[in-house]
Amino acid sequence: MSAVAAAIRGFAWFSILYFVVLNSAYLAIITLAAGNAVVSRRRVSFAGLAEIFHSPLAPPISVVVPVCNMEDLIVGSTRGLLSLRYPEFEVVVVDDGSTDSTFARLEREFGLVEIDKVLRDELQTVGRVLSVHAPRDGSNLLVVRKVSMGRPADAVNTGVNAAQYPLICRIDADTYLDSDCLLTVAKPFIEDPDQVIAAGATIRVANGCEIRAGRVIRPRVPGGWLLPIQAAEYVRAFLLGRAGWSQIRSMLFISGAYAVYRRDIYELVGGFHLDTEGDDLELTTSIHHRLRDDRRPYRIAFVPEPCCWTVVPHRYRRLAQQRARWSQILAEAIWVHRTMLFNPKYGAVGLVVLPFYLIFELVSAVVEILAMAAFVVGLAAGIIDPAVVLLFVAAGLGYGAFLTIVSVITEELTYHRYRTWRDFALLVYAAIAENVGFRQVCAWWRVRGIIDAMLRRKAKWLEEPGQRGQEGPRLSMAAGERQVPVP
C-alpha cells in the first residue's frame, strides 16, 4: 500500500512541477511575443496597406474554400471573399459532395455555367472531380464539384490543383476575413519573395461579433461560458504560439490557422496528407522537415494583426469533437515527423518547438487527467495533504489563469480590437472560468484524441451531413447578413 501511496504522492509533486515549468515557459514566450507585438506596431507606420494594394508586386492569390453541406453560409461567405480588397485573386470553392442545396444556391447566386477545365495533378487526390463551374459574368470564381471521400484535405488539394495563382490561401466557409486581410498577409511575400514561403495571421473568435455581408463590422467578446473562454483561448494561443515562436524563426501553425502558402512549396510537400487529417500544423511541420532536409533557406512569417474571424463551436459535443481532433492531428504530426525530435539538423524546430509541443501541448492533457485522478484518490485516501492540492491549484490553474490574463492585457495594449470595458471584463472572467472545469474537460477530450491517433482512426469533416440544422437559432439572413448565433 505504501508503494502506491508513495507513487501517488510522487506523481502529485511531479505534476505540480510540470505545470510550473510549463506555465513559466509560456510566460517567457508571451513576454517575447508581447515585445514583438509592440515593435510591430511601431513598424506599421512605415508601410501602408494602400501602397500594397497598388503595388504591382503583390502576387496574385488563390483562395481555396472546401465546403460540405454549408448551404446557409456559403453564399454570404463567397460574396465576402469575392469583395476582398486585393489587386488580383480568385476564389476556388470546392463542393465536397454536398447533399444539400449548397451548390444550387451558388449556382443561382452567381449564375454558374459548366466549363472545361484541365486540373493539375501535382497533388494526390482521391475523390473524383465531377464538374467545374464559373460565373457567367466572368468574375474570378471557380466552383469545383467532386465526390466526397469524407476528408477535407482531399477537397483542399483538389482546389489547389484547380487554382491558377502562385499563392494559396485555405479558408473555411465559416471564417470571416477583414477586407484588407489578403493585403495584410501578402506583405511578407511582397517584401521578401525569395525567402518567405508561408505567412500566417492572427485569428479571433467571430461568435458574438456584428457581421454584415460577410464582414466583421464590430468585434465583440461573446457571453456565456464556452464562448468567451474560447475567445480568450484564441487571444492567448495566437499571442503565444505564433508571435512567440516566430521570434526565433520556427513557426508552426496551429490547427485552424489562417495561412497563405507559396504554391510550389505546398506542392513540394504534397499538400495536405490524406492519411493524417491534414491541417496547417502538419503542413508546416512537413515544410520545416522537407526544406531543412533540402537545405533551402526559407522563412515562415507571421503577421500579428488580427484580420480573420472564425466561428467556434458553442455546443458541447462539437467542441469535444474539435478538441479531440486537434489533439489527434498534433499526435499524428509529431509521430510522422518524429525523426525531427531533438535532432540538431532541424534547428530550433527540431530542438525546441517540436519537443515543446510534444511535452507540453500534447502530454499535458495526460498529465492533467492523471493528476486529477491522483489528487482525488490521494485526498480521499488521506495520502495527500489538502495544502498540496491547493498548491497544485495555484501552480497549475491559478498560474494558467494569470497567463491568459497577461495575454488579454497584451492584446489590450497593442491591437485593442475589443473596444469596450465589457469585452475586457468578459475576457478576464473567461481566463478564470477556463481553469474551473473547462480545461479539465478539454483534457479529457484531448486524451481521447491521442487515443484516436494511436488507434489510427481517420478524422473526418467535423459535421456529418444533415447535422447542420441543429447548430442553433437561425436569425433572419438576407444575402449574407447575419449575427452569429450566441445561445
Residue with smaller CB distance to another protein, 402 or 444: 402
What is the torsional sign of CA 181, 182, 185, 191? negative
Among 120, 338, 422, 458, binds another protein (CB under 8 A): 120
Site for another protein in 428-467 (CB under 8 A): 428
Alpha carbon dihedral 237, 239, 240, 245, in 10-degree steps, equals 120
Site for another protein in 43-102 (CB under 8 A): 43, 45-47, 50-51, 53-60, 88
If one asks whether residue 8 binds another protein (CB under 8 A), the answer comes out as no
Distance CA 243, CA 66 (A): 27
If one asks whether residue 121 binds another protein (CB under 8 A), the answer comes out as yes
- Binding pattern for the stretch 196-235 against another protein, x by CB under 8 A and - elsewhere: xx--------------------------------------
Stretch that binds another protein, among 66-74, 119-127, 272-280, 478-486 (CB under 8 A): 119-127
Residue with smaller CB distance to another protein, 133 or 314: 133
Stretch that binds another protein, among 237-245, 250-258, 321-329, 406-414 (CB under 8 A): 406-414
If one asks whether residue 165 binds another protein (CB under 8 A), the answer comes out as yes
Distance CA 134, CA 142 (A): 5
CB of 195 to another protein, least distance (A): 8
Stretch that binds another protein, among 90-98, 332-340, 373-381, 397-405 (CB under 8 A): 397-405
- In three-state secondary structure terms, 174 is coil
Residue with smaller CB distance to another protein, 70 or 395: 395
If one asks whether residue 326 binds another protein (CB under 8 A), the answer comes out as no
Distance CA 203, CA 198 (A): 16
Q: Of 61, 445, 30, which is closest to residue 258 (Cα–Cα)?
A: 61
Among 100, 107, 109, 122, binds another protein (CB under 8 A): 122
Determine the angle formed by the axes of helices 316-336 and 280-293, rounding to 10 degrees. Answer: 10
Do the beta carbons of residue 403 and residue 427 sit within 8 Å? no
Q: What is the total count of residues that contact another protein (CB under 8 A)?
A: 71
Among 42, 295, 476, 478, binds another protein (CB under 8 A): 42
Alpha helices, DSSP H only, in 269-315?
280-293
Rg of the chain over Cα atoms, rounded to whole angstroms, equals 23
Q: Of 46, 300, 87, 291, which is closest to residue 192 (Cα–Cα)?
A: 300
Residue with smaller CB distance to another protein, 5 or 351: 5
Among 179, 343, 440, 483, binds another protein (CB under 8 A): 179
Side-chain half-sphere CA neighbours of 428 within 13 A: 9
Burial degree of 295 (CB within 10 A; 0-12, 13-18, 19+): exposed
Do the beta carbons of residue 94 and residue 155 sit within 8 Å? yes
If one asks whether residue 141 binds another protein (CB under 8 A), the answer comes out as no
Distance CA 284, CA 254 (A): 9
Among 409, 451, 462, 486, binds another protein (CB under 8 A): 409
If one asks whether residue 297 binds another protein (CB under 8 A), the answer comes out as no
If one asks whether residue 192 binds another protein (CB under 8 A), the answer comes out as yes
Distance CA 285, CA 253 (A): 8
Stretch that binds another protein, among 125-133, 313-321, 356-364, 458-466 (CB under 8 A): 125-133
